Amino acid sequence: MPRHHLAPLAFAPLAFTLAATAFAAERLPLDEATLKQAATLRDEVLARNEAYTLVESLTTEVGARPGGSEADARAVAWAQAAFKSLKFDRVWIEPVTFPRWVRRHESGAVLAPFPHPLALTALGGSRGTGKRPLEAEIVEFTDFAALQAARAEDVRGRIVYIGNRMQRTPDGAGYGAANPARSEGAVAAAKLGAVGLLIRSLGTDDDRLPHTGQGIRRDKMLADPEAMATVAKTRSGLPIFETPIPAAALSNPDADLLQRLLERGKPVRVRLDLDVGFDGEYTSQNVIGEVTGSERPEEIVLIGAHLDSWDLGTGAIDDGAGVAITMAAAHALVRREIRPRRSIRVVAFANEEQGVYGGEAYARAHASELVKHVLVAESDLGADRIYQLDTRVGAGALGAIDQMMQVLAPLGIVRGGNAATGGADTGLMVQAGVGAIELRQDATRYFDLHHTANDTLDKIDPKQLNQNVAAYAVMIFLAAQAEVSFVPAAQVAPK
Ligand SMILES: [Zn+2]
């Protein structure tokens, strides 16, 4: 705010005196030395490849790490070892328990009018097709809304196919728009008597690689008592969110093929053979590293990303990059022996992909101390450059954010709005009233790769990754130093 006030004064007579007076009276939340230190930190980070080294290690030494898999445990061990070798002050783990979903094998084919193999993959949480493959005729819908408007007699006994293609946008908005087909399609199709679901992958590429992703919304099910009454449970009583019918995604070229077959007007019969499903439960861990604050150690600036990935690629952009960015950003302070006033916590969340289990476990375990979490931020939209900073902070913190922007602007980052919602893993904390920062990444090419076998290390551009680390390092340092409250005005008491 003072920046805006000072500028016009410079054109007035006696400008110098007036400006100096205004400056002293307003007392900026961050002093010049701190801003200078942040700029040095930024420039140093840009010249190093620390996050790339971390994500190279994670994707090479662990690789695909779906929640509940053998690699899940190795990823947890990797993250603990990484925090320790980076000399964080405290490193610990917290349990996260969930039903285990496994993919054994999967295939599919068009049987008629012309036979073709199909490149497809089961959606997370899908039930299997049983001992025999499922064979049925396709009924096509242009999008999820069209399925919702369908009559049961047109759907009963068939495999529903939803064909809309997601749009490519820099902010990833096309994903949200296309998402109901994947995350709610199976439940909606089953209600109308369908025996299976096939969707066009939520992806912007033309590779013959399907995109997986969760096929059922845990949050929606939990909020629906009628649905919960029918949900099966694990031996210890955890609800199992399984799609009511087998559900899979086709690669974009296979979806195009299926549509050309449907256009010919003859019945299109498909076979699905999905050997997938739930198998007991598993306890993974959130892995947490902390740089303890020097003056207010109980106050926490939290950044994080999810440690798990889907099984098809090696989880480089989703979300090995986010884990590496947040770890490297906090380590940039440790390496320079900068000890900020507040504590900085980096959380590698468990099993985000299958229902935000880690984010929920963290919010629950720390419910009573969420009031001491002053600000949260999450990196989970790939590895490409950050172009905008959004916030959800109280009015008293906007001056500090303006000062932060002075250091971030040379990275090509512009100021967005003050209505951030947090990411998947931090959203619950933001709902509980914690302040939020979103460093928005360019997602233009993210959904070419997301949840596919193509999510591998070679897709990461080290220069853009470094820009992310620099932005996070500046943000957490200044947030931990600023003598302001970030608490948004409309704070809701944490549950
Ligand atoms: Zn992710």
**According to the model, what pLDDT value does residue 489 have?**
78
CB atoms within 10 A of CB 375: 26
Structure tokens at 479: 């947030």
Each residue's pLDDT tens digit, 138-183 = 999 999 999 999 999 999 999 999 999 999 999 999 999 999 999 9
Q: Are 224 and 278 in contact (CB under 8 A)?
A: no
Each residue's pLDDT tens digit, 375-433 = 999 999 999 999 999 999 999 999 999 999 999 999 999 999 999 999 999 999 999 99
* Average pLDDT value for residue range 320-347: 97
For residue 11, pLDDT beyond 80:
no
Cis peptide before 206 (omega within 30 of 0): no
CA 19 to centroid of ligand 1, rounded, Å: 47
Each residue's pLDDT tens digit, 90-111 = 999 999 999 999 999 999 999 9
* Average pLDDT value for residue range 221-233: 92
- Coil, helix or strand for 206? coil
Residue that wins the pLDDT comparison between 287 and 14: 287
For residue 74, pLDDT beyond 60:
yes
CA 376 to centroid of ligand 1, rounded, Å: 17
Structure tokens at 106: 């999967």
**According to the model, what pLDDT value does residue 28 have?**
86
Q: Are 162 and 147 in contact (CB under 8 A)?
A: yes
**Site of tokens 């728009």:** 177
**According to the model, what pLDDT value does residue 3 have?**
34
For residue 9, pLDDT beyond 50:
no
Residues 6+ apart with CB under 8 A from 394: 435, 485, 486, 487, 488, 489
**According to the model, what pLDDT value does residue 26 have?**
60
Average the pLDDT over each of 13-22, 79-88, 218-227, 299-308 and give the range with the smallest value. Answer: 13-22
CA 141 to centroid of ligand 1, rounded, Å: 28
Structure tokens at 434: 């914690």
Each residue's pLDDT tens digit, 131-149 = 899 999 999 999 999 999 9
CA 181 to centroid of ligand 1, rounded, Å: 18
CA 183 to centroid of ligand 1, rounded, Å: 15
**According to the model, what pLDDT value does residue 8 have?**
34
Please state, rounded to an integer, the average pLDDT across all residues of the chain.
Answer: 93
**According to the model, what pLDDT value does residue 2 have?**
34
CA 261 to centroid of ligand 1, rounded, Å: 34
**According to the model, what pLDDT value does residue 490 have?**
59
CA 317 to centroid of ligand 1, rounded, Å: 8
CA 491 to centroid of ligand 1, rounded, Å: 27
